[in-house]
Amino acid sequence: MIIPVIMAGGSGTRLWPMSRTAFPKQFLALGNNLTMLQQTAARLDGLSSGKPIVITNEEHRFLVAEQMRQQKSDADILLEPVGRNTAPAIALAALHLLNANTEETPVMLVLASDHVIQDDKAFQNSVMTLLPDVEAGKFGTLGILPTEPATGYGYIKRVASDQLACVEAFVEKPDAVTAQQYLEEEYLWNSGMFMIRADRYLDELKEYRPDIYLACEAAMADTAQDLDFIRVGKDAFESCPDESIDYAVMEPLSATGNVVVTPLDAGWSDVGSWSALWEIAEKCEDGNALLGKNVHNHTILKDTKNSFIFSEKRLVATLGVENLVVVDTPDAVLIADKGKVQNVKDIVADIKKQGRTEHHNHREVYRPWGKYDSIDNGERYQVKRITVNPGAKLSVQMHHHRAEHWIVVSGTASVTNGEETYLVAENESTYIPIGQVHALENPGVIPLEMIEVQSGSYLGEDDIVRLKDKYGRA
């Protein structure tokens, strides 16, 4: 039985300002109606596989649960207390599968949640090519047929240029000269996608990195079920070394002849930068790629070539430019030379140094109950547009420093205000004084839209004292 193991814990800073710490690229819909995580799950349709395992972190857990629910994909969601790279994460999945006492030994198909694969059928065919050898105990990987001498990927040296070949070595990201040599010698790009029997992975991890194995074993011996999530033992996992599967297992094992690779030619990209997204996007005759909802209604391009434009709301106009990246979001705009976008991470570092928040949150912030958009703020006030999903409820809470006015735009709100609980309908409002215990719920079947006006001496999110919460955040 193939069990997909989807890694969904990255931050994707090179796609700032769209990708941010609280909402990284795997949860974005970039050039598709589905998010990258949902595309990863949809890619498995038609493949004989069991319930997937998604490995993520505390901050992103509700995003994973909601997006998998939208995709109608039931999944076990493992929460890492801290990030410890791929070798420990895969060990958690393997231990979880074997602890389930399945009748047959599961084969893990390890996938990143933030890659693009344009030909799902070719991907599935490559998986099935690997399966017999993996079921027999070998470790499998999908190697990407290179399209250029790229210096941003690791490479795989194989014994022969066959549809299925033994791996001779995994090699580091090369310089330009070495990358050209690898291209001529028919090396493959290391995609980071692997197929491994769960028991075999743990056997080899015990052999090469017993410290990682023991820490993960202890962490999985201390799990707790929390709503849709499986929490692993915090103390044990924090003690685990930070290591990739490549260094921990794949590189030393490749010397034994027990790693096989099949080439994949399926329009793959790790979407590691805006230029990478431009390369795979549909382009006009001038080489321009336009992304975003109704982007053609938000752009005017004059004498513009080979550029990437992302816009969803505001008008973006360009004149007499070439090889530009322009990404417009409600609270930040990126304008960059397409050849320099690998350095966007330096801008993110500067944002952090300045004590700003645009690296972490979008103006629109998602919560398990819905979302809010901070549409205006000043010294002693803040205005938010709040959307509460049908049947959802915000925590029972209070604030020490702010009062709140709520105006319902559409839908119906059930409001708890101190000792009272009452309904507030469209075009009606209510007032929550400072220090008042309160809660908000959508009892209806359509989304509740409302405007919240906060006023007070301090308006930070850490002035929320949660007394009770259906999502376990109290």
| pLDDT at residue number 474 | 66
| pLDDT at residue number 104 | 78
DSSP letter for 49, please.
Answer: B
Average pLDDT score over residue span 299-321: 96
In Å, what is the CA distance from 107 to each residue of 191, 212, 396?
A: 18, 20, 44
Q: What is the CATH number of domain 2-269?
A: 3.90.550.10
Domain boundaries defined on the chain: 2-269, 274-353, 364-468
**How many Å apart are CA 199 and CA 63, to the nearest integer?**
30
| pLDDT at residue number 13 | 84
> Above 80 in pLDDT, residue 210?
yes
Give the whole-number percent of the chain exceeding pLDDT 90. Answer: 86
> Above 70 in pLDDT, residue 27?
yes
> Above 80 in pLDDT, residue 346?
yes
Among 39-43, 257-261, 292-296, 355-359, the minimum mean pLDDT is found in 292-296
Give the whole-number percent of the chain exceeding pLDDT 70. Answer: 99
| pLDDT at residue number 440 | 98
> Above 80 in pLDDT, residue 103?
no
Average pLDDT score over residue span 451-464: 94
| pLDDT at residue number 235 | 95
The matching CATH number, chosen from 3.40.50.1980, 2.60.120.10, 1.10.1060.10, 3.40.1000.10, for 364-468 is 2.60.120.10
Mean pLDDT, the chain, integer = 94
| pLDDT at residue number 473 | 80
| Sign of the torsion formed by the C-alpha atoms of 398, 404, 409 and 414 | positive
Strand 324-328 with 364-367, pairing = unpaired
Judge if 2-269 and 364-468 fold alike in CATH terms.
no
Give yes or no for a contact between 4 and 49, defined as CB atoms under 8 angstroms apart: yes
| pLDDT at residue number 159 | 92
| Buried/exposed 186-219: b ≥16 CB within 10 Å, e otherwise | ebbbbbbbbbbbbebbbebbeebbeebbebbbbb
| pLDDT at residue number 102 | 66
DSSP letter for 23, please.
Answer: B
**How many Å apart are CA 411 and CA 81, to the nearest integer?**
37
**How many Å apart are CA 197 and CA 200, to the nearest integer?**
5
Q: Give the model confidence (pLDDT) of 32-82 as tens digits.
A: 789 999 999 999 998 888 999 999 998 999 999 999 999 888 899 999 999
Average pLDDT score over residue span 109-134: 96
Q: Give the model confidence (pLDDT) of 428-447 as tens digits.
A: 999 999 999 999 999 999 99
> Above 80 in pLDDT, residue 282?
yes
> Above 90 in pLDDT, residue 415?
yes
Average pLDDT score over residue span 400-418: 98
What is the reported pTM? 0.90
Provide the 3-class DSSP secondary structure of residue 249.
helix
Give yes or no for a contact between 79 and 156, defined as CB atoms under 8 angstroms apart: no
Q: How many CB atoms lie within 10 A of CB 336?
A: 20
Average pLDDT score over residue span 181-185: 94
Q: How many CB atoms lie within 10 A of CB 108?
A: 22
Average pLDDT score over residue span 267-280: 92
The residue among 159, 156, 160 whose CA lies nearest residue 190 is: 156
| pLDDT at residue number 48 | 84
Residue partners of 245: CB distance under 8 A and separation at least 6:
86, 87, 90, 110, 194
Provide the 3-class DSSP secondary structure of residue 455.
strand
